[in-house]
Amino acid sequence: KVGDEYYLMATELVDAAMKDIGIEDYEIVNRFSGADLELAEFKHPFVERNATVLCGDHVTLEAGTGCVHTAPA
């Protein structure tokens, strides 16, 4: 959580992701497994629309947030 906004990302990547975007003051307020979040809707961070959580083997903990964009075929 940063201010009044909540961010969804892999716990293992929070520190590095926040450092990358220059945010030092944040709080982890809850933890969920990916399976617990599957099909949940959230506000897209860049465009005015909602998006749905889909789990997939192509998502890794190598870098970033642990969330990836999946485009329709």
Tell me the per-residue pLDDT of 38-63, one tens digit each, with 9 for 90 and over.
888 888 777 898 888 877 777 777 87
For residue 3, what are the domain limits? 1-73
Q: How many domains does the chain have?
A: 1
pTM of the model: 0.67
C-alpha 50 chain-centroid distance: 14
DSSP class per residue in 9-72:
--GGGHHHHHHHTT-----------HHHHTT-EEE-SSSSSEEE----TT--SSSTTS------
Q: How confident is the model at residue 26 (pLDDT cuts 50, 70, 90)?
A: very high
Which tokens in the block code for residue 14? 């929070």
